[in-house]
Amino acid sequence: MSFFRNRAISVSGGIILATAVVALFGPWISPNDYISTDFDRLLLAPTTTGGHFFGTDDLGRDLFVRTMLGIRVTLLVAIVASFVSLIIGVTYGAVAGFVGGRVDAAMMRFVDTLYALPFIFFVILLMVAFERNFLLIFIAIGAVNWLDMARIVRGQTLSLKEREFVAAARLTGVSTGRIIFRHIAPNLIGIVVVYLTLTIPQAILVESLLSFLGLGVQEPRTSLGALVNAGVNLMEGASWTLLIPAGLLAMLLMSFNFLGDGLRDYFDARHSS
């Protein structure tokens, strides 16, 4: 079955791609910027005049550009967090699963310990100890996201290791390195890709939560979560300040979830009949 014939993959992938392209290039063609205030046009409803497609906020800043900026930040968080979870999580999980025994037990107890940390406290602590910093959000989200990935990859590696084709390779005399790269790793790709697309919405949600709590991105920069937070305060009388960023956030989250489902079906169908 062709990759793009899967409806879930092509539709949700298309939405994500289109959103990213608009978020990247939209601000260029807009006459406005994200920081200038215009006190003649406070809380302007969405309109085409002056390019305020999404209206303005209570400081008269253009919400279209700010929303695009927010999407950029949100997607950046998603990409960085999933990259961290990919690199650390897959390596850690594969090593634990393949080596097994005591090494595995020790490595996984460490993961359990990190799991036990109350995440929000952890972030607040980081914020207090250091300056509020854009980078800290990435570190905080990345530090948590790879845990799930490590567990999943470890489990999969453990079961793959016992599969008969691995035994056959050992009997033939295939080296351990080659067994890992030729026989185990390719069989992990499906589950890793699927899980990755599912960690992205998680990371986005965590970033939104932090920004909503005021711990995330700081003014005048913004993210979808921070925009929703601002919109909540203005929703009486200026509902667009809430509905537009919230709607876009929901759309992105759902698209990533559907993409993950689609990819899982795709990988399931490809190598089992």
Task: Return residues touching other proteins (CB under 8 A).
Answer: 163-165, 167-176, 178, 182-183, 186-187, 189, 271-273
The distance of closest approach from Cβ of residue 1 to other proteins in the complex, given in angstroms and rounded to an integer, is 12
The distance of closest approach from Cβ of residue 5 to other proteins in the complex, given in angstroms and rounded to an integer, is 15
Between 129 and 171, name the residue whose CB sits nearer to other proteins. Answer: 171
Between 48 and 172, name the residue whose CB sits nearer to other proteins. Answer: 172
- Sign, Cα dihedral of 100, 151, 91, 118: negative
Between 7 and 182, name the residue whose CB sits nearer to other proteins. Answer: 182
- What is the C-alpha to C-alpha distance for residues 94 and 91, in angstroms, rounded to an integer? 5
The distance of closest approach from Cβ of residue 176 to other proteins in the complex, given in angstroms and rounded to an integer, is 7
Residues 6+ apart with CB under 8 A from 135: none
The distance of closest approach from Cβ of residue 183 to other proteins in the complex, given in angstroms and rounded to an integer, is 5
Between 114 and 174, name the residue whose CB sits nearer to other proteins. Answer: 174
- Residue reference for tokens 């634990």: 96
Reported as type and span, the H/E element at residue 191 is: helix 185-212
- What is the C-alpha to C-alpha distance for residues 221 and 156, in angstroms, rounded to an integer? 41
Cα 43 to chain center, whole Å? 31
Let me know how long the chain is.
273
Q: Which two tokens stand for residue 213?
A: 């709590």
Between 35 and 108, name the residue whose CB sits nearer to other proteins. Answer: 108
The distance of closest approach from Cβ of residue 189 to other proteins in the complex, given in angstroms and rounded to an integer, is 8
The distance of closest approach from Cβ of residue 24 to other proteins in the complex, given in angstroms and rounded to an integer, is 35
Between 105 and 168, name the residue whose CB sits nearer to other proteins. Answer: 168
Among 79, 77, 50, 55, which residue's Cα sits nearest to residue 67?
55
The distance of closest approach from Cβ of residue 98 to other proteins in the complex, given in angstroms and rounded to an integer, is 13
Distances (CA, A) of 87 to 80, 136, 150, 216: 11, 18, 10, 24
Residues 6+ apart with CB under 8 A from 220: 34, 35
The distance of closest approach from Cβ of residue 151 to other proteins in the complex, given in angstroms and rounded to an integer, is 22
Reported as type and span, the H/E element at residue 45 is: none
DSSP state of 56: B
Between 179 and 206, name the residue whose CB sits nearer to other proteins. Answer: 179
Reported as type and span, the H/E element at residue 77 is: helix 63-84
| Beta bridge mates, 56 | 62
Between 48 and 273, name the residue whose CB sits nearer to other proteins. Answer: 273
